[in-house]
Structure formats: C-alpha cells, structure tokens
Amino acid sequence: MPPPSRSSITGRPVMITGAASGIGRALARRLSRFGAPVAIADVDEAGLKETAASLGGMVLTRVLDVRDADDVHRFAGEVRGWLPAPLAAVFNNAGVAVTSTLLEADPDDDEWLWNINFHGVVNGTRAFLPLLVEQNEGAIVNTSSVYGLVGVPYQTAYCAAKFAVRGFTDSLRQELRRTGVRAVAIHPGGITTNIARNARVRKDPTGLGRTKDQLAAEFEAVTMTSPDKAAEIIHRGMERGKARILVGPDAYLIDALARLTPTHSYQAIMAVQKRLWAMRRSGR
Ligand SMILES: NC(=O)c1ccc[n+]([C@@H]2O[C@H](COP(=O)([O-])OP(=O)(O)OC[C@H]3O[C@@H](n4cnc5c(N)ncnc54)[C@H](O)[C@@H]3O)[C@@H](O)[C@H]2O)c1
C-alpha cells in the first residue's frame, strides 16, 4: 500500500451502498479491517446483517432502496449524525443487470435497471455531496463498468446506465475542480459476484435456450477477479488519487481496445478474450 495522500480514505469513515453482497461487501470488509468506520446500506436486509456481523469496527447499517431519493436524503442525515470524523468517501456501488435483446426487452426491466444503476447513483451523489463540499474534502465514488467504456450486445439498458454514470461522474469532477472534493469513476471488468444470479433474464438472447442459471455459471467461469481483489484494487486506486479506476486485467484490455478501435472494439475484445480464457483453462 502506498503512503496515504491528503485524500487518503484509509481508517476514515466511508459510506457504501450495495454492501450486502459482492464488491460492496468486500469493500466494507477491507476498509473496516483498515480501521474505517463504515456506514453500509442495501435493500437486502439479511445480506446486510451478514456483512455487518463480519466487520470488526464501528458500523452503521441501513436498509435502503437507492431508487428512493427522499430516503437516501434521510439516510445522509443519519450518517451526518453518526460520523466520528469527516466522511472520506461515498461509494455509490449498488447495481443490477438485465440481459436481453432490445426488441425483446421488457421496458419495466430496463426502467428498473436505470432507476437503480443511474438514478441511484444520482440520488446518492445529490444527498451526500453537500456534506463533502461543506467539509471541503472527501470523494464521490461512482461504480460504472467496462460496459461504460464499450457497447456490447444484449446489454443496451446496462451500457446506457453505465455510460451515464461515467458521463455524470466525469462532468461532476470538472465542476468540483476548485474544491477539496473529488469524483471517481470505477470501471470493473468481470468480478465473481452475485450480479448475474440477481439479473433479470427472461430468455437467452442468443437463441441457444440456456437458462438464467446456465448464463450466470458461464459468466462466473469467465470472470477474472474476485470481490476481495476488486476491493483491494479500488482501495489502492483511491489512495493513489486516481480519478478513474480500472478493476481487473480484462478492464485494462477493454479500455485499450476501446481507444484503439472504438467502433469495432467488441469483436476485438471477444477475439483477445477467447485466447486469454483458453490460456487460463490450459494453465498457461
Ligand atoms: N460483477 C461484475 O462483473 C461487475 C462488473 C462491472 C460493474 N459491476 C458493478 O458493480 C456494482 C456491484 O455489483 P456486484 O457485482 O457486487 O453485484 P452483487 O449482485 O453481488 O451486489 C449488488 C448489491 O446491490 C444491491 N442492490 C440492488 N438493488 C438495490 C437497490 N435498489 N438499493 C440498494 N441496494 C441494491 C443488491 O442487494 C446487492 O447486495 C454494481 O453497480 C455493478 O453494476 C459489477
């Protein structure tokens, strides 16, 4: 771990949404282990309790639906009252997935995703930013994806939301330039979490007839990064003062291909990834 910078989050209070599972849970555990008081929120009460029970230090838990702007504001007030020191980071991490062709997509599924993955991030930013600006320090950390860097098939709703998170965060960063507050975008590659199991999938969009569980198992087989490793990369990136954090080797590959060949990046990514997966399977 590099030495802490002025904007270090190590050992300082943080707020994390989507902390009942996956990346959010791993972040809560890691930052708590490094001495941070953590305020954790999620719609999944049972999962949130499990996360809380695994933390050693100071913790505030809150069942919260990030779609509910009023409740996110109430929660921000509660966090303000609970804080033992200035709030170092707000991780707007909660997210869901939908897999479908555009023509077969149920508009309700797409709205569900946009309300969580984009409006949830906006709600968290609007609710917590006044406190950070008042403190003149801290970070808004919004989770986009590699699918916020490139467009891929059967992910129109997800890509739209993750590109929106990236644009929202990049714009906010410029707006905050003369303040002590920063805006950070996280772009994970494939991370082995529950995201595919919790996704809305009505049918296999490729026509191969695979079930949602089979699609989730295939996703998990090709992910390259564990949630713990993702949390470590995000923590280190924050300590280095990065504005954009790529998570996992596939994220670096996709970012490079998106720059090299913006309109053909998906075909290039699939070709390179097939080789990498084959090498991984053969242990090379
Ligand atoms: N897993 C990956 O490969 C991957 C890749 C890129 C980006 N991401 C992003 O990382 C973030 C974390 O996802 P994950 O992979 O850990 O998935 P996960 O399913 O393991 O965790 C997501 C958490 O968000 C919570 N959540 C869902 N809807 C919510 C709501 N309305 N209000 C509050 N909480 C809600 C879930 O209950 C769950 O605990 C998401 O934004 C996701 O889009 C994941």
Ligand 1 close to Cβ of residue 193 (< 6 A): yes
Q: Does residue 8 lie within any of the structural domains? A: no
275 CA to centre of ligand 1 in angstroms:
28
Q: Does residue 54 lie within any of the structural domains? A: yes
Q: Does residue 186 lie within any of the structural domains? A: yes
Question: pLDDT at position 276, please?
Answer: 74
For residue 105, which phi and psi values (nearest 5 degrees)?
-65, 140
95-115 pLDDT per residue, tens: 999 999 999 999 999 999 999
- As annotated, the active-site residues are 158
Q: Does residue 268 lie within any of the structural domains? A: no
Q: Does residue 9 lie within any of the structural domains? A: no
| Contact of 43 with 21, CB cutoff 8 Å | no
Question: pLDDT at position 117, please?
Answer: 99
Beta strands in 8-123 (DSSP E): 14-17, 38-42, 59-63, 89-92, 98-99
156-195 pLDDT per residue, tens: 999 999 999 999 999 999 999 999 999 999 999 999 999 9
Ligand 1 close to Cβ of residue 24 (< 6 A): yes
CATH of the domain at 103: 3.40.50.720
Find, among 82, 31, 85, the residue nearest to 56 by Cα: 31
Ligand 1 close to Cβ of residue 250 (< 6 A): no
**Minimal-distance CA residue to ligand 1 atom 23:** 18
Give me the number of domains the chain comprises.
1
Ligand 1 close to Cβ of residue 188 (< 6 A): yes
How far is residue 39's CA from residue 192's CA, in Å, rounded to a whole number?
A: 24
39-95 pLDDT per residue, tens: 999 999 999 999 999 999 999 999 999 999 999 999 999 999 999 999 999 999 999
Quick one: pLDDT band at residue 279, thresholds 50, 70, 90?
confident
- Domain hosting residue 110, numbered range: 14-249
